[in-house]
Amino acid sequence: MTPDAFRELGHRLVDWVADYRKRMDKLPVMSPVVPGEVKAAFPRSAPETPQSPQALLELLDQAVVPGITHWNHSRFFAYFPGNSAFPSVLADLVCSALGAQAMSWQTSPAATEVEEVVMEWLQDLVGLPRTFTGVIQDTASTATLVALLCARERTTGFGQRRGGMQAEPSALTVYYSEEAHSSVEKGALMAGFGAENLRRIETDEVFALRPERLAHAIETDLGQGKRPCAIVAGIGTTATTAFDPLHAMLALAKKYGLWLHVDAAMAGSAMILPECRPRWQGVEEADSVVFNPHKWLGVGLDLSAYYVRDVAHLTQTLSTQPSYLKTAQDGQVKNFRDWGVPLGRRFRALKLWFLLHLEGAEAVRRRLRRDLENARWLAAEIARNPDWEVIAPVALQTVCIRHRSADNMAVAQRVNLAGRAYVTPSVVRGRAMIRVSIGSEHSERPDVQAVWDELQRAAACTQRPT
């Protein structure tokens, strides 16, 4: 494709994107297609000869868009928000066009140095001291895996250089709340800990880890000859955005010499609001912290911010030095390939730069405050309705609710199928509930009112006769 052909189709696609975002709110939030429907619209084999841009745009409109669940829709209340604000969309265009490789400093110095810049901007914005050093990971799942690998290696004195996990004389154990995200268990299993050595610690009435249970679990393991290795603290857990008691967990980590990783995937973004920071007080004592600007902040997927107190654990655990990757600047610069799992790395920092440059931090803060206020409003509305209850404290922007008599799974499914809003059914302590997670960039009060109306309507239709 020539630069001129690129220019022509590029302009069409920019217009296509602007039009898509304008009409998006009229589309069903959750895609209504059935399994196989999108696939059937595509040819069975790759085109041998060039096909027209027009045909591509038609397939995009007719088969792909109907198969999209619109994460930027103003009535997207499912999972956690996943905003791709326009500045980050534009940054991705530039990222792909530059095609820079951020694996080593030399393979594109700007990719490494802009990453340093924006990770410093971000840590100042959330109030993490400069004693931390940041690096971009794709997702919190990967960052948590990295944290657990570093924990494993610190505890074993870099046992991977010898016999690895297989040679450890006593079993290493990992501790986290029963409300921790599934990626914590997944990461621990990938790192070789084994399910029998993972401790899901009970939570209290507000779904926060009970520190006395954690202390007891560590003591029990020590008594049985196990080797406690890492604690993961959930700062805004997935189901209910509960906040684990970080101070108490840090004290235990210190007492027993454990790695403390903070999984603030969702709630970390809230820390750009000074009023939210008491929620993770003590974080400066953690060994590692992850949060996802690709959620609430508006930087398109994927961009996880991973901060560590001691870079040496990271590079000693993950670096490789084959001759073909050596460069003249090694030793003076950061080679981020040694700070994560993949070797090849996109120039993701552009997204954070574009967003903060074009919007400014204050506008992002305003947006997040709007969402917190909307969550409180919704919770108050629901609390006034005798048929419904709010089943967890509204610590952030997620409101966990249940209808007292209807089948909550059926209610959520009915809302989602109707297409005017999208929520996530879930289960907490064995009880079905519905998560309304506020935070889509363009979700205003009328959108929150709309999902509440939808929920009430759906409940009326699905409610069992009494």
| Binding positions for its own copies, 117-176, rule CB under 8 A | 117-118, 120-122, 124-125, 138-142, 145, 149, 152, 159-168, 171-172
Site string for its own copies, 29-68 (x = CB under 8 A): -xx-x-xxxxx--x-xxxxxxxx-x-xx---x--xxxxxx
Residues 190-209 close enough to bind its own copies by CB under 8 A: 190-197
Output the smallest distance, CB 384 to its own copies, in A.
Answer: 26
Return the beta strands (E) in 82-122 as ranges. none
CB 197 within 8 A of CB 165: no
Q: Which helix (H) or strand (E) holds 191?
A: none
Task: Candidates 315, 316, 413, 449: give the one binding its own copies (CB under 8 A).
Answer: 413
Determine the Cα–Cα distance for residues 368 and 382; give it in Å rounded to an integer.
21
Q: Closer CB to its own copies, residue 49 or residue 466? A: 49
Q: Is 312 in the site for its own copies (CB under 8 A)?
A: no
Eight-state DSSP code of residue 64? I
Hey, how many other C-beta atoms are within 10 angstroms of the C-beta on 26?
Answer: 7
Closest to its own copies by CB, 78 vs 218, is 78
Q: Where in 350-389 is the site for its own copies (CB under 8 A)?
A: 354, 356-363
Site string for its own copies, 265-304 (x = CB under 8 A): ---------------------------x-x-----xxx--
Instruction: Identify which range of 204-212, 386-394, 419-427, 450-458 contacts its own copies by CB under 8 A.
Output: 419-427
- Beta-strand ranges (E) seen in 237-285 are 259-263
Site for its own copies in 420-449 (CB under 8 A): 424-428, 435
Q: Which is nearer to its own copies, 215 or 358 (CB)?
A: 358
Cis peptide preceding 302, ω within 30 of 0: yes
Give residue for tokens 């450890």.
Answer: 168
For residues 266 and 291, give the distance between their C-alpha atoms in angstroms, rounded to a whole number: 6
Could you tell me how many residues of this chain bind its own copies (CB under 8 A)?
Answer: 162
Among positive and negative, which fits the CA dihedral 18, 19, 25, 31?
Answer: negative
Q: 2 by DSSP, 3-state: which?
A: coil
Distance CA 417, CA 411 (A): 10
**Of 139 and 463, which CB lies nearer to its own copies in the complex structure?**
139
CA-to-CA distance for 162 and 179, rounded, in angstroms?
35
Closest by CA to 440, choosing from 80, 190, 170, is 80
- Asked if residue 222 binds its own copies (CB under 8 A), the reply is no
Q: Which stretch binds its own copies (CB under 8 A): 14-22, 208-216, 256-264, 371-379?
A: 14-22
Q: Which residues 6+ apart lie within 8 Å of 146 measured at CB? A: 137, 288, 306, 314, 317, 318, 340, 341
Residues in the chain: 466
- Residue 418, interface with its own copies (CB under 8 A)? no
Q: How far is the CB of 265 from its own copies (least distance, A)?
A: 9
**Going residue by residue from 230 to 269, which x/- string records binding to its own copies, judged by CB under 8 A?**
--------xx------------------------------
Token pair recorded at residue 281: 């007080």
One character per residue 334-353, x = contact with its own copies (rule: CB under 8 A): -------xxxxxx-------
CB closer to its own copies out of 211 and 340: 340
What x-and-dash track marks residues 64-103 binding its own copies by CB under 8 A? xxxxxxxxx------x--xxxxxxxxx-xxxxxxxxxx--
Identify whether the C-beta of residue 217 lies closer than 8 Å to the C-beta of residue 229: no
- Phi then psi for residue 169, to 5 deg, are -70, -30
